[in-house]
Amino acid sequence: MRDLRRLILPYRSFLIWPVTVLAVAIAIVWWIPIPRELQQSPAGTLTLLDCRGREIAELASAEARTQFPIPLERVGLWLPRVTVALEDRRFYEHSGIDWHALAAAAARNLRSRHLVSGASTITQQLVKLATGRERRSWSRKLYEAIIAWKLEHRWSKERILAEYLNRSSYGNRRIGPEAAARAYFDKSARDLTLSEAIFLAGLPQAPTRLNPWRHPEEAGRKYARSLARLVQLGFIDRDQEQLLAQPPKIVHADSPRLAPHFVDAVVARNPGSHGTVRTTLDLNLQTAIERLARSHLSALNRHDITQAAVVVIENATGAIRAMVGSENYALSQINGAMQPRSCGSTLKPFVYLDAIDKRLLTAGSLLPDTPDAIRDEYADYDPQNYNRHYLGPVRLREALACSLNVPAVFTLSRLGARPAFYQLQKWGFDFPQGLADYGAGFVLGNAETRLVDLAAAYAGLARGGTAMRAKFLAAEHQPIVRIASTEATSIITDILCDNEARQRSFGTRSALAFEQRIAVKTGTSSGFRDTWTVGFDREHTVAVWAGNFDGRPMHDTFAVRAATPLWAAVMQELLRRDHPLDLPVENEKLVRREICKATGLLPSRFSPAKLSELFLAGTEPRDYSSDYFAADGKLLLPDAYSRWCASRDNTIGSHVLADFRIISPPPNARYQIDPVLPASQQMVELTAALAGDVRWFVNGEQISARQDARFFWQLIPGEWHVRAVSRFGTAEETITVE
């Protein structure tokens, strides 16, 4: 044994180093991780489908124009086999490194004294594709070989081949066989013929130089070389070679790009989405509404109305079934359905709904439509109706149906502007600014809203008082929140269906008038810059905006002319399958009563007409209307209506329950002249209760009426005696001007 140790000892150092180097090499190989890029499958091109699974659009990414990763069984019969034969014929035999090919490549590289051939296997090429290697180097080749060896011991050959195919570039930024098959042959990869598979299999070697669209001759020559190589390998025989001699016919198939504004909205709302995503859009309905929008604008044929937008929402689910953002996406990518615009009178139903639900008002409540009805509450706000006339006492039903402005602001004063503003936000209105920026005018439309949010809110009315955001994706979940009672919502919906109630503003034959029960509301912003119409049947809500994206006004054009005809056309399209709204059903919470049409109270012998009205149980009228009529049958109104009764708008001959007196100027009023304002802007209007024909005198000098029969006196420093004379008597006041 002593002799044996003496014999081995001199060679021990020579054994330690090789073993150590081998151990270190094994440790390095074991330590090098598989790249994260390889462990994550390609995300794939975002492909949007409609609600029935039809393709809407394929959205390019920074990595690829199109890329559709598919499992190997969906690649078809020929392309995997041809690719293996041409790229790595011993693929199923080696463990990531083809030693035979590597030895031959090494000999070629030594002869040329630089790296000209790598003999990369499909597995090694997969590593290269995943990690993005561009420059050739011995160290890089070694790294790829190590990772390829590790992959072969973890993945199946089928997975490796599928990953390689799905990451290979086939030119024109088409990544993977599915994208290439669709682009060049307008078919799926599983349907590729043998010749088509041979053609595609050669493209990844030089996708730019072999681009079938730009360099068809080069691609054709590559096909011929691939065919010859397959014959040489025995993959195909001579007879097949003759049949396959001509390369397949190449097409230029672009992916669809439908409903572009909707697609843009989906991408903006869901950044980073990939793969196949089912949306809520209905392509059939979308196509029909795009046609109707173009036809409507063409029929208007007006230079001051250039754009229109439409949103259709399914009431039950909140799903957007159609979205048209402009007349022509190629000319304007602005999406009118997603842009905040001044919303006109479209918010009024929600304000009245809140007042009814809180039992502050009823549909029969008499509201003042007079110039001075809200001056005590909003002294610096002077809303006017679109026709600059006032109806005086008007029931809530008629005030909403005719879209009168003063009653809406009066109702707002009963609710409180801030609570009403917050209540609107619960319905999903995301106003760009706060209440302080809008003031009480938000109820009349100086607040901006988006067409899609307006449609979603009205769909909430159609659902009976529940709010839910509009849905763009089929898998999207939006919470449903009850905002108003079903019964109060039924009353508002019934008003929006009442064509008779709106006739004083819109007539009986406007585009709003349907034979079926359809709820609808219009809105026109100040300056005629935006017009809106929104309404619903049982299944769908339709919202339409018309105007100009640059804010140019339309010449005295109201919504009923600019937006309503398109809304009506869309609604008629829907009514081919949809159903009109049902009549409200009385129950223990919702009752119907006969009321006096003039006063909203219980009918009396003086009532000029009667009608049936809906009320929340407990809010129906208890008083009779007889106390509101004079002996001559004329309406007797509170003192707040004095100015209106004295105006030309009082076409019904109403009287005021008060003695003849001066209303303006008020008793013992003191005025101070502003040295900055022009004198013509510093005047006081002279009005009286129970006026009729009145003659006005200031310090004995008679004041002449203007053309509109109103009396104004310009302020002059001093003490002044004001006297009003009419058939009801004489009234006097003294005022001071400093």
Q: What pLDDT does 16 receive?
A: 58
| One domain, residues 541 and 499 | yes
Q: Which long-range contacts link 595-599 to residues 24+ away (Cβ below 8 Å)?
A: 595/364, 595/621, 596/625, 597/395, 598/393, 598/625, 598/628, 598/635, 599/366, 599/393, 599/625, 599/628, 599/635
> φ and ψ at 86, to 5 degrees?
-85, -35
Q: Are residues 27 and 122 in the same domain?
A: no
pLDDT for res 559: 84
Does one domain contain both 623 and 644?
no
DSSP E strands, 460-619: 466-467, 481-482, 519-524, 530-536, 540-547, 590-596, 610-616
Considering its fold, how many domains does the chain have in total?
A: 5
Judge if 459 and 557 occupy the same domain: yes
Verify that 472 and 499 share a domain, yes or no: yes
pLDDT attached to residue 418? 95
Contact in structure between 560 and 506 (CB atoms under 8 Å): yes
Domain enclosing residue 11, as ranges: 1-31
Residues 6+ apart with CB under 8 A from 635: 393, 598, 599, 628, 629, 652, 653, 654, 655
CA distance 307 to 297: 7
C-alpha span between 92 and 151 (Å, rounded): 14
Question: The domain that contains 120 carries what CATH number?
Answer: 1.10.3810.10
Query: What pLDDT, on the 0 to 100 scale, is given for residue 129?
Result: 83
570 with 607, same domain: the answer is no
Note whether 531 and 594 are same-domain residues: no
Render 476-503 in DSSP notation, one character per residue: -----EE-S-HHHHHHHHHHHT-TTTTH
Burial (Cβ within 10 Å: 0-12, 13-18, ≥19) of residue 115? middle
The number of angstroms, rounded, from the C-alpha of 254 to the middle of its chain's C-alpha atoms is 27
In a domain, 271, yes or no: no
The domain that contains 476 carries what CATH number?
Answer: 3.40.710.10
Work out the angle at residue 581's Cα, subtended by the Cα atoms of residues 449 and 569, and round it to the nearest 5 degrees.
60
- Tell whether 732 is covered by a domain: yes
Give the integer Cα–Cα distance in Å for 335 and 304: 19
Tell me: do 445 and 306 sit in the same domain: yes
User: Amino acid identity, residue 350?
Assistant: F
Note if the bond before 665 is cis, omega within 30 degrees. yes
Question: Residue 296 has what pLDDT?
Answer: 95
Determine the Cα–Cα distance for residues 148 and 122; give it in Å rounded to an integer. 9
Residue 441 and residue 516 share a domain: yes
List, run by run, the mean pLDDT of 10-residue segments along the chain (738 residues). Answer: 53 51 51 73 88 93 86 94 92 80 60 58 86 68 82 90 93 93 95 95 94 94 94 89 91 89 95 90 97 94 91 98 94 94 95 98 95 76 76 96 94 95 96 92 92 98 98 95 98 97 89 94 90 97 95 84 95 97 95 95 91 97 85 80 86 78 86 86 81 81 81 91 83 91
Q: What is the pLDDT of residue 65?
A: 87
What's the pLDDT score for residue 349? Answer: 98
Q: Are residues 204 and 334 in the same domain?
A: no
Q: Can you spell out the DSSP letters for 137-203?
A: -HHHHHHHHHHHHHHHTTS-HHHHHHHHHHH-B-STTEESHHHHHHHHHSS-GGG--HHHHHHHHHG
Q: Is position 657 within any domain?
A: yes
- What's the N-to-C CA distance of the chain in angstroms? 134
Both 5 and 130 in one domain: the answer is no
- Tens of pLDDT along 652-684? 888 877 667 787 888 888 999 888 888 888 899
Per-residue pLDDT tens over the stretch 68-115 = 999 999 999 999 999 999 998 888 988 878 676 666 655 665 565 555
Q: Is residue 447 within 8 Å of residue 317, measured between CB atoms? A: no
Distance of CA 36 to the CA centre of its chain: 38
> Has residue 263 been placed in a domain?
no
Separation of alpha carbons 195 and 479, rounded Å? 53
**In the structure encoding, which two tokens stand for residue 90, read together?**
């011993």
CB 491 within 8 A of CB 356: yes
